[in-house]
């Protein structure tokens, strides 16, 4: 049979919303009204518990007798198997194998779901629903670029009663060139288990933004795991925040961006701006790769920074020009270039780029992520660039020779601002350097960890006096600082990390989240602290639950929400417990747990049972204030959590709950009473207009 792709456009939002009884503003999706009426049995052997019985290999060597396995985990964690077996597309012939396999025929129900894993390639790797009589592919779904499977839910009501079959298609020989499948369900069973309702995932459920008449807020609300008050790309991938600045009164946020796929690729710069650094407005892509017409070319515009040309009022960005030397062997892999915009939207590349044509000697590990800053020690524009060698990471210092108010395109190398001992990696990325009060702060990424130093600076060299983690959680990297017009030291971090993050949202076509805006300060112990900016209070939406003095002995239910701000003040002097937990995204099946040990002053974030995201535990020590009053300011946003503690500690994680009911917020006190001076839970609205 020849297969034809009949699902050329995404499902329309309003039709989907009507079927699933969901307002377009994105409340929980409920069971469709006809899931019982149009419920038919699915394919034979839907979970591969009986090997390949009922399944037929159509062609190729990708699938065969070894494809069904009971292997439970791989190098990245569990496969998320349901039952005993699943179809592992790698097992028969590795990533090099190609071919397809189909299920037995069955009548389509009004809804179906299944688990999918493996590579992301919407053209060459997918699970499809195929109509028997004409071979038309009605719906299809590629993998999350991860062997860990996630559940896809499909509205199949338009095909109810028609004879169909499932097709597993692999035409990829690339890395991750395989597809996994498990637990095909039809009818109401497809929508949940254990009395809980699956969060709806799948590319087919995302409205077509190019044709929709709905607002950005309405469109972004449809996705059950998309944060609502954080910047995310609608489709594609983002990582490092870039060129943060307040320009012409508006806050500018650029991000490393690949619009073509939900993973890293040829780097563009996405662009949003805001009047308050909370409510964002989408703008056109600001920077494009130098060779946009060659999809195999990974050259791109890497991370950079921004400054104001005071002579003209123009916005200047300075960035890494990265070249794919496998295709351009005579080029240097990383140089520094510049572009200028007079309207904040359209950028013109400097005609004599690069502005730093080559890295200085002693920089074999890399040369990237320029960050420009004003140096009050000698009233000059200076720039730090990340680098390193075989033994240690380095931050390199440059000085501008252009007039102060002009475009800064002429840079001289000063020397190594600061060099590590190798313990924090041999290539430092995304360095930032700036003063707070009478101290100077340096932070950078090394070995995929965000580090800070606080110390002194003489205009040429930096001396570190205190060092620590910029964020104690698993999902924070490439933080960037800027000074706003009010004189605040603000920062945004990428809520992701290469070794610790999972991106199940890839099955919805996007990946990557930027944090809420944070204000940086020097803590009482001399370290670098973070707090949420005051403007975030403008997101308050709905009734705030407030309690005064509260003594918790056992379990106390605060409320239920997955887009909210939880604020608490603990009276440690009156607290008699050994420890207490705050459970977030809680249901009978899952939760994320924040644990505070009173005796050791340690705070632990446990995502072991939190959903589709990375499972693990992360711990940090809290500096308890002398008055024994410890505050927590916690932001939860559908699939993310940011915890700010009164001493300036911050922990960031992404969790991706499996179930719509996973919204519970509880406090559990162990071995005595935990005393809270106050507790408040405030629902938060959308960051999008």
What is the DSSP code string of 447-459? TTEEEEEEEEE-S
Predicted confidence (pLDDT) at residue 433 exceeds the cutoff of 80? yes
Q: In this model, does residue 37 exceed pLDDT 90?
A: no
pTM for this structure?
0.95
Residue pLDDT, tens place only, 541-584: 999 999 999 999 999 999 999 999 999 999 999 999 999 999 99
Residue 11 has pLDDT above 70, yes or no: no
Look at residue 17 and tell me whether its pLDDT is greater than 60.
no
Q: Which residues, at least 6 apart from 211, have a Cβ–Cβ distance to it below 8 Å?
A: none
Q: Is the pLDDT of residue 201 over 80?
A: yes
* Cα pseudo-dihedral 53, 56, 59, 65, rounded to 10: 0
- State residue 341's pLDDT score: 98
CA distances from 68 to 46, 65, 186, 583, 623 (A): 12, 7, 21, 37, 52
In this predicted model, what pLDDT tens digit does every residue of 610-622 receive, in sequence order? 999 999 999 999 9
Q: CB of 16 within 8 A of CB of 205?
A: yes
Q: What is the share, in percent, of the chain residues with pLDDT greater than 70?
A: 95
- Say which DSSP state 537 is in: G
Residue that has been written with the tokens 């935990």 in this structure: 674
Looking at residue 618, its pLDDT comes to 98
* Residue 634 predicted with pLDDT over 80: yes
The mean-pLDDT minimum among 46-50, 215-219, 378-382, 489-493 falls in: 215-219
Whole-number pLDDT of residue 429: 98
- CA 622/CA 636 separation, integer angstroms: 21
Tokens at 339, concatenated: 């572009």
Q: Which residues are CB-neighbours of 44 under 8 A, at least 6 positions away?
A: 53, 54, 55, 103, 104, 106
What's the whole-number mean pLDDT along residues 457-461? 97
Extract the tokens encoding 634.
Answer: 């916690």
Which of 156, 137, 195, 176 is CA-nearest to residue 6? 137
Q: How would you classify the pairing of strands 334-341 and 196-197?
A: unpaired
Phi-psi map region of 364: left, alpha, beta (phi>0 left; psi -120 to 50 alpha): alpha
Task: Supply the pLDDT for residue 39.
Answer: 85
For the cut 70, the answer to whether the pLDDT of residue 245 exceeds it is yes
Q: Are 61 and 99 contacting, i.e. CB atoms less than 8 angstroms apart? A: yes
Q: Which residues of 73-97 are buried (b: 16+ CB within 10 A; e: fewer)?
A: eeeeeebbbbeebbbbbbbbbebeb
pLDDT interval class at 501 (50, 70, 90): confident
Tell me how far apart the alpha carbons of residues 473 and 477 are, in angstroms, rounded to a whole number.
10
What's the Cα-to-Cα distance from 3 to each of 7, 133, 137, 203, 204, rounded to whole Å?
A: 12, 11, 6, 20, 19
pLDDT of residue 36: 74
DSSP states of 33-53: TTTTTT-----SSTT-TTTTT
Q: Quick check: do 225-535 and 540-683 share a fold?
A: no
CB contact burial 643-654 (16+ within 10 A = b; e otherwise): bbbbbbbbbbbb
Q: Higher confidence at residue 100 or residue 310?
A: 100
CB 225 within 8 A of CB 505: yes
Kindly report, residue by residue over 56-96, the tens digit of the pLDDT: 999 999 999 999 999 999 998 999 999 999 999 999 999 99
Domain ranges for the chain, please list them: 4-205, 225-535, 540-683
Alpha helices in 478-545 (DSSP H): none
Note the residue count of the chain: 689
Measured distance CA(319)–CA(355) in Å, rounded: 10
Q: CATH topology for 4-205?
A: Jelly Rolls (2.60.120)
| Structure tokens given for 233 | 């790309």
Residue 33 pLDDT class (50, 70, 90 cuts): very low
pLDDT at 34: 66
Superfamily of domain 540-683: Exo-inulinase; domain 1 (2.60.120.560)
For 257-301, write each residue's pLDDT tens digit. Answer: 999 999 999 999 999 999 999 999 999 999 999 999 898 999 999
CATH code for the structural domain at 225-535 = 2.115.10.20
What pLDDT, on a 0 to 100 scale, did the predictor assign at position 30?
42
Beta bridge mates, 341:
315
Ramachandran angles phi, psi of 535, nearest 5°: -65, -15
Query: For 467-472, what is the mean pLDDT?
Result: 98
pLDDT value at 462 more than 60: yes
Quick one: pLDDT at residue 57? 98
Q: Which helix (H) or strand (E) holds 394?
A: strand 393-400
pLDDT tens sequence across 407-430: 999 999 999 999 999 999 999 999
Across all residues in the chain, what is the average pLDDT? 94
Confidence of residue 1 (pLDDT cuts 50, 70, 90): low
pLDDT confidence band for 35 (50 / 70 / 90): confident
Tokens standing for residue 637:
């946003």
Q: E strands along 572-685, which residues?
A: 579-586, 592-597, 602-606, 617-621, 629-637, 640-645, 650-654, 664-670, 674-683
Instruction: Please give the Cα distance from 537 to 517 (Å, whole number).
Output: 12
Residue 180 buriedness (CB in 10 A; 0-12 / 13-18 / 19+)? buried
Cis bond before residue 354 (omega within 30° of 0): yes
Give the DSSP H or E segment for 184. strand 179-186
């Amino acid at each position: 049979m020849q297969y034809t792709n009949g699902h050329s456009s995404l499902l329309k939002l309003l039709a989907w919303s009507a079927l699933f009884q969901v307002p377009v503003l994105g409340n929980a999706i409920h069971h469709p009204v006809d899931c019982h009426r149009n419920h038919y049995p699915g394919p034979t052997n839907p979970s591969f518990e009986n090997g390949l019985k009922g399944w037929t290999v159509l062609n190729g060597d990708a699938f065969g007798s070894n494809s069904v396995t009971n292997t439970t985990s791989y190098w990245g964690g569990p496969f998320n198997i349901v039952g005993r077996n699943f179809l592992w597309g790698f097992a028969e012939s590795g990533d090099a194998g190609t071919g397809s396999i189909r299920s037995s025929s069955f009548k389509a129900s009004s809804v179906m779901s299944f688990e999918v894993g493996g590579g992301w390639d919407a053209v060459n790797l997918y699970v499809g629903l195929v109509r028997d009589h004409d071979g038309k592919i009605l719906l299809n779904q590629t993998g999350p670029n991860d062997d860990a499977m996630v559940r896809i839910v499909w509205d199949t009501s338009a095909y109810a009663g028609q004879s169909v079959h499932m097709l597993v298609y692999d035409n990829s020989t690339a890395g991750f060139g395989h597809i996994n499948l498990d637990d095909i369900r039809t009818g109401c069973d497809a929508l949940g288990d254990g009395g809980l309702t699956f969060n709806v995932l799948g590319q087919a459920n995302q409205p077509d933004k190019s044709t929709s008449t709905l607002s950005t807020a309405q469109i972004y609300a449809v996705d059950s795991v998309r944060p609502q008050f954080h910047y995310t790309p609608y489709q594609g991938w983002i990582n490092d925040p870039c060129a943060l600045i307040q320009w012409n009164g508006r806050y500018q946020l650029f991000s490393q961006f690949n619009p073509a796929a939900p993973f890293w690729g040829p780097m563009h710069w996405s662009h949003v701006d805001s009047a308050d650094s909370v409510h964002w407005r989408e703008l056109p892509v600001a920077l494009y790769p130098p060779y946009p017409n060659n999809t195999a070319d990974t050259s791109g515009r890497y991370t950079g920074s921004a400054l104001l040309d005071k002579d003209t009022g123009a916005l200047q960005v300075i960035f890494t020009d990265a070249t794919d030397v496998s295709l351009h062997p005579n080029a240097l892999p990383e140089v520094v270039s510049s572009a200028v915009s007079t309207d904040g939207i359209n950028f013109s590349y400097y005609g004599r780029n690069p502005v730093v044509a080559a890295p200085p000697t002693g920089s074999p590990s890399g040369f990237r992520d320029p960050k420009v800053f004003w140096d009050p020690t000698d009233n000059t524009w200076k720039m730090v660039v990340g680098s390193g060698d075989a033994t240690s990471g380095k931050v390199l210092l440059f000085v501008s020779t252009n007039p102060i108010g002009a475009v800064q395109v002429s840079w001289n190398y000063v020397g190594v601002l600061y060099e590590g001992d190798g313990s924090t990696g041999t290539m430092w990325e995304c360095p930032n350097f700036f003063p707070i009060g009478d101290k100077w702060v340096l932070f950078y990424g090394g070995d995929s960890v965000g580090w800070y130093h606080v110390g002194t600076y003489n205009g040429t060299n930096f001396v570190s006096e205190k060092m620590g983690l910029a964020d104690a959680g698993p999902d924070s990297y490439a933080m960037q600082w800027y000074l706003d017009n009010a004189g605040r030291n603000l920062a945004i971090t990428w809520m992701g990390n290469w070794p610790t993050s999972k991106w199940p949202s890839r099955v919805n076509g996007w990946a990557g989240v930027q944090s809420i805006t944070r204000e940086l300060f020097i803590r009482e112990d001399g370290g670098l602290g973070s707090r949420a900016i005051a403007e975030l209070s403008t997101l308050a939406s709905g009734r705030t639950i407030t309690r005064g003095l509260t003594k918790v002995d056992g379990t106390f239910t605060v409320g239920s929400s997955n887009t909210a701000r939880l604020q608490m003040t603990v009276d440690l002097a009156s607290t008699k417990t050994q420890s207490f937990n705050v459970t977030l995204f809680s249901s009978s099946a899952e939760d994320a747990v924040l644990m505070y040990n009173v005796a050791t002053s340690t705070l632990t974030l446990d995502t072991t049972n939190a959903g589709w995201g990375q499972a693990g535990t992360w711990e940090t020590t809290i500096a308890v204030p002398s008055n024994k009053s410890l505050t927590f300011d916690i932001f939860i946003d559908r699939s993310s959590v940011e915890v700010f503690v009164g001493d300036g500690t911050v922990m960031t994680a992404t969790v991706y709950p499996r179930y719509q009911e996973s919204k519970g917020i509880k406090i559990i006190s162990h071995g005595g009473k935990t005393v809270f001076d106050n507790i408040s839970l405030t629902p938060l609205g959308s960051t999008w207009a």
